[in-house]
């Protein structure tokens, strides 16, 4: 078995059966130019179930498995994903003051796992990620999270902008952690229902999400290095939110 075959399935019929059995497909790779009657059945399911897929060269799939893959290869997620529209009402129903962490294009698996570990330890209610441009949730992510991914709900969305608007409409303030502001992380009032948005280390929070934000906050930097690893930055701002909330209890 090659490295890619762990927690994975391949072959058109096998993947169809997995989807019909409600298995959570993390990522689906489809050979570019693939067209036949059997694939047409799979394609209908992919579109219907909104499976996260990517068209790739044949060589990419061949590197994942040496077996007869028929041009398709999928990774099965070790966790089940939730819908943010279901999670937020349940947070309020439990009498909790929502604290949500939103990850915008955080694609490094180990960073993602470390962020989830911090979020679970801090009592963050849920993590929201986009379907596309997000870290694969695999064995490495689970290991780096120290098992936290089995204990904190992860929500995935096809349209992060719409999901952020849903959070605003549900009474949460959006706070973006960004260097593009004069305000520091001690400025926002985190005792309010809050969703903290963290961006990738390369690009930061997307401009469209910065525009949607109610507050922007940066982590003060006093040394010669001007940036932090995103998992470290997430820990700092999350625990500032916790500090403020604890001060009221």
Looking at 30, 60, 76, which one is the last position of a domain?
A: 76
How many CB atoms are located within 10 Å of the residue 34 CB?
A: 16
Indicate the pTM of the whole model.
0.84
pLDDT of 168 strictly over 60? yes
pLDDT at 4: 44
Tens digits of residue pLDDT in 124-167: 999 999 988 899 888 889 999 999 999 999 999 999 999 999 99
Q: How many distinct structural domains can be found in the chain?
A: 2
Q: Residue 121 to residues 43, 148, 198: CA-CA distances in angstroms?
A: 40, 8, 18
By residue range, what is the domain housing residue 177?
Answer: 84-248
From 131, 107, 10, select the one nearest 61 (Cα to Cα).
10
Residues 134 and 244 in one domain: yes
Residues 114 and 158 in one domain: yes
Tens digits of residue pLDDT in 76-111: 888 889 999 999 999 999 999 999 999 999 999 999
User: Which structure tokens are listed for 229?
Assistant: 């690893």
pLDDT of 2 strictly over 80? no
Residues 88 and 72 in one domain: no
Looking at 48, 76, 104, which one is the last position of a domain?
A: 76
pLDDT at 27: 85
Residues 138 and 207 in one domain: yes
Residues 57 and 92 in one domain: no
Residues 145 and 125 in one domain: yes
pLDDT at 3: 43
pLDDT of 203 strictly over 50? yes
The domain that holds 140 is classified in CATH as: 3.40.1280.10
pLDDT of 1 strictly over 60? no
> What percent of the chain is predicted at pLDDT more than 70?
97
pLDDT at 249: 67
Residues 172 and 155 in one domain: yes
Residues 33 and 152 in one domain: no
pLDDT at 26: 82
The domain that holds 41 is classified in CATH as: 3.30.1330.30
pLDDT grade, residue 6 (50/70/90)? low
> What percent of the chain is predicted at pLDDT more than 90?
73
The mean pLDDT value for 169-198 works out to 97
Residues 93 and 109 in one domain: yes
Q: Residue 103 to residues 15, 63, 74, 77: CA-CA distances in angstroms?
A: 28, 29, 23, 18
Residues 170 and 207 in one domain: yes
């Amino acid at each position: 078995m090659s490295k890619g075959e762990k927690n994975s399935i391949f072959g058109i019929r096998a993947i169809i059966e997995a989807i019909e059995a409600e298995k959570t497909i993390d990522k689906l790779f489809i050979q570019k130019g693939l067209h036949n009657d059997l694939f047409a059945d799979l394609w209908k399911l992919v579109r219907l179930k909104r499976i996260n897929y990517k068209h790739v060269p044949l060589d990419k799939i061949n590197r994942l498995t040496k077996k007869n893959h028929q041009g398709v290869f999928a990774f099965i997620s070790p966790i089940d994903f939730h819908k943010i529209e279901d999670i937020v009402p349940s947070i309020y129903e439990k009498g909790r003051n929502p604290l949500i962490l939103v990850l915008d294009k955080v694609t490094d698996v180990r960073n993602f796992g470390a962020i989830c570990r911090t979020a679970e330890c801090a009592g963050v209610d849920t993590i929201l990620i986009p379907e596309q441009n997000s870290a694969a949730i695999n064995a490495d992510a689970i290991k780096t999270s120290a098992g936290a991914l089995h204990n904190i709900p992860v929500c995935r969305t096809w349209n992060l902008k719409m999901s952020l608007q849903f959070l605003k409409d549900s009474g949460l303030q959006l706070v973006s952690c960004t260097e593009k502001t004069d305000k520091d992380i001690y400025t926002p009032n985190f005792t309010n229902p809050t969703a903290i948005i963290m961006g990738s280390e390369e690009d930061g929070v997307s401009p469209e999400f910065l525009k949607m934000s109610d507050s922007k906050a940066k982590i003060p930097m006093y040394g010669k290095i001007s940036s932090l690893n995103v998992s470290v930055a997430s820990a700092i701002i999350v625990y500032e939110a916790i500090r403020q909330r604890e001060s009221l209890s």
